[in-house]
Amino acid sequence: MKKTNLIFSFLLLFISSACSQNENYPPIQDFDESSFELVKIIDGIDIPWGLAFTDNDSFLVTDKKGILYHVSDNEKKIINGIPEIIFSRQGGLLDVAVDTNFKENNRIYLTASVSDSNNGSNTSLYSATLSEDNLTNLKQLYKATPDSQEERHFGGSILLKGQYIFFTIGDRGNRDVNPQDINLDGGKIYRLNLDGSIPDDNPFIGVDNSKEAMWSYGHRNPQGIVDGLNDDEIWIHEHGPRGGDEINIILDPKPGENPLNRNYAWPKATYGINYSGSEITKKRTLDGTIDPFYYWTPSIAPSGMAMIKDSQIYSDWSNTLLVGSLSFRYLERLVFDNSGIVKREKLFPRVGRVRDVNISPDGYVYISVEGEGIFKVLPK
């Protein structure tokens, strides 16, 4: 009997060890918050998914349930005229971005889950003109197809860079098909001209049976995207399964580059496992694909991302990424150099599910928190 109990205990220990995941280096540290404070700017926004500044103290914020707010002078107004959305488990009104010439053209961009059918929804990108409390000139720039009954992995993050707009679409819960098929939407990063046309120098132009708007593929559910340190790169992060959240650097294509090598490997290689604890693949890296710049184990469920290259306000935060954690309910600061991530800090623990992070034109960090609202990070 004792021998049976001993064997049973050993099996339990083995199963537990196999299903657990050690924290990836560097271990996260507590942050000394004595020199900073969080100031609530506005509340009453249930799921503040996306945040974009129209001026130093004015910004647009989406509520995933289907409301667009304009916040100014610590008051919020509802903006009318948003597209008809499908609000579901992970779908709804997603990100918002403002044109680089917003003061001249009042143009904004939105992503949302919308339907062209009676068979679910998919991610769509729009442009519109903000006219006081209304959106006019609403134009659909891109719509992923086909619609899907899956209510997850919409991606939806937007980045404006020069004359281009980058945006993300997740694998839509169809991991074994969409991310690795260049003829299908989902599990991709896209690049368009600001009017929705496809740039002539996109890497998949002329590639048979491909989505020519595609910039890279092999992604799971990217929901953070920022301009990189250098002109020829963007940085994204994406949700992994259980473990294996990633930060990826996506470079501009080089002359003569094979576009099929712009593959970030999901689900053929991953540091994550299934939620059940079973294995997805034995491969952590794969020849002919691009490895992550960093990965989190365990998963923090990253959401929103901002990069601080240099700051007079946050003087010790050069070469810093700020990433929200939905799972652990804090803001994470990651310090990087050419070798990778060298330091991690846990900021404002227990603040709540940090959905987005952005930096105002005058250099202040703002975060959106589910069920709480929008906060400004102020040095004391």
The verdict on residue 364 lying in a domain is no
How many residues can be counted in the chain? Answer: 380
Q: Given this model, what pLDDT does residue 33 score?
A: 84
Q: What's the pLDDT score for residue 342?
A: 97
Indicate if 153 belongs to the active site.
Answer: yes
Q: Are 188 and 214 in contact (CB under 8 A)?
A: yes
Quote the pLDDT of residue 8: 40
As given in the structure block, the two tokens for residue 196 are 């929705």
How many CA atoms does the CB half-sphere of 260 hold within 13 Å? Answer: 8
Tokens 């990087």 -> residue: 336
Extract the residue ranges of the chain whose pLDDT is less than 50: 1-19
| Within a domain: 136 | yes
Classify residue 40: in a domain, yes or no.
no
Quick check: is 322 in a domain?
A: no
Measured CA to CA, the distance from residue 40 to residue 43 in angstroms comes to 7
The structural domain count of the chain equals 1
Record the pTM: 0.94
| pLDDT of 276 | 95
Strands 340-347 and 28-30: parallel
Residue 17 confidence (pLDDT):
37
Question: What pLDDT score was predicted for residue 289?
Answer: 98
Q: Flag whether 20 is in a domain.
A: no
Dihedral, CA atoms, 297, 328, 373, 140, nearest 10 degrees?
A: 30
Contacts for 355 with CB less than 8 Å, ≥ 6 apart: 47, 48, 49, 303, 304, 324, 326, 368, 369, 370
**Would you say residue 34 lies in a domain?**
no
Of 153, 219, 237, 239, the active-site residue reads 153
pLDDT for res 54: 98
Give phi and psi for 17, each to the nearest 5.
-65, -40
Encoded amino acid at 358, one letter: N
Written as one letter, the residue type at 75 is E
324 touches 303 (CB < 8 A): yes
The token duo for 152 is 């997850």
| Residue-range definition of the domain harbouring residue 88 | 47-302
CB distance 165 to 182 below 8 Å? no
363 domain-assigned: no
- pLDDT of 308 reads 96
CATH number of the domain that 122 lies in? 2.120.10.30
**Domain-embedded: residue 345:** no
255, burial (CB in 10 Å: exposed 0-12, middle 13-18, buried 19+) = exposed
Q: What are the distances in angstroms from CA 231 to CA 72, 77, 81, 182? A: 32, 36, 35, 26
Per-residue pLDDT at 301:
98
